Amino acid sequence: MRKKRILGLVTMLVIPASFAFAQDGASKARPDSKAAATKDNGSSQTDVPAPRPATDSPNYLIGPDDELNVSIWREPDISRSVPVRPDGKISLPLVNDVQAVGLTPMQLGAEITTRLKKFIADPQVTIIVTRINSQRIFILGEVPRAGAYPMLPNMTVLEALSSAGGLTAFAKQTKIHVLRVEDGKQLTLPFNYKEAVHGQHAEQNIVLKPGDTIVVP
């Protein structure tokens, strides 16, 4: 009888101790799991998104005031975003000034690659035009947002007017025209908004050129 009492007492002491030990182990495991989750989240937040190109055309010629992203693989200290200066050049570490105006992104990348070979083994250069500031068109008159706009590749009159917010209620939709200078002479190209939006006389919805001015009376 006495042995049974002792055994029961030992059992009562062991079970709570085991339960407490299990709780303590679980509580220690939780912070580690939380830390791991935090670490995973932290690593994902350090990912740098790739810059968005302002044009996908491989034939685009870089102009003054354009903004470029120059990426050299595994060389973050050299990679950077740079503006094209008014003199047509950009500046980068190691290669100093490089002519950019008049070149396509691929041609500029090839030039920088050639210069970097003196300092880096097998450099891999990628050039992305992130903002086009050199090619602009102008919109004047009865539009919500008159002013200068970057000219996107193959931009038409309708697309340009859309960028300016469309027309105001006072616009003379049939009297819009495009002013263009060619060979030193100014041309006036008529544009009928009412016809264009209904798909009529599509030839008047011309592709714009740098320097064109859309006048909305």
pLDDT digits (tens, 9 = 90+) for 3-44: 455 445 444 544 444 444 444 544 444 444 444 444 444 444
Higher pLDDT, 154 or 174: 174
| Structural contact between residues 158 and 205, judged by C-beta atoms closer than 8 angstroms | yes
Average pLDDT over residues 92-109: 96
Q: Which two tokens stand for residue 13?
A: 């002491």
Higher pLDDT, 130 or 45: 130
| Structural contact between residues 53 and 129, judged by C-beta atoms closer than 8 angstroms | yes
Q: What is the pLDDT of residue 156?
A: 96
Strand partners, 131: 67
For each of the domains in the chain, give its residue range(s) and CATH number, in order of start.
67-131 (3.30.1950.10), 136-216 (3.10.560.10)
Strand partners, 188: 179
Residue 164 has pLDDT above 90, yes or no: yes
Out of 67-81, 94-108, 145-159, least confident range:
145-159
Q: Where are the alpha helices (DSSP H) in 58-153?
A: 105-116
In degrees rounded to 5, what are phi and psi of residue 129?
-80, 110
Tell me the C-alpha distance between 177 and 161, whole Å. 12
pTM assigned to the model: 0.58
Mean pLDDT for all residues in the chain:
83
pLDDT grade, residue 56 (50/70/90)? Answer: confident
Rg, the chain, Cα only: 33
Residue 112 has pLDDT above 70, yes or no: yes
| Structural contact between residues 157 and 205, judged by C-beta atoms closer than 8 angstroms | yes
Residue 131 has pLDDT above 80, yes or no: yes
pLDDT tens digits, one per residue of 169-208? 999 999 999 999 998 899 999 999 999 999 999 999 999 9
Please give the C-alpha separations between residue 66 and each of 100, 164, 180, 193, 203, in angstroms, as whole numbers: 10, 21, 22, 31, 30
Q: What is the pLDDT of residue 47?
A: 54
Edge-to-edge, what's the strand order for the sheet holding 80-83?
A: 80-83, 67-72, 125-131
CA end-to-end distance (rounded Å), the chain:
112
Q: What is the pLDDT of residue 133?
A: 87
Q: Which two tokens stand for residue 209?
A: 């050129």
Q: Coil, strand, or helix at residue 189?
A: strand
Residue 216 has pLDDT above 70, yes or no: yes
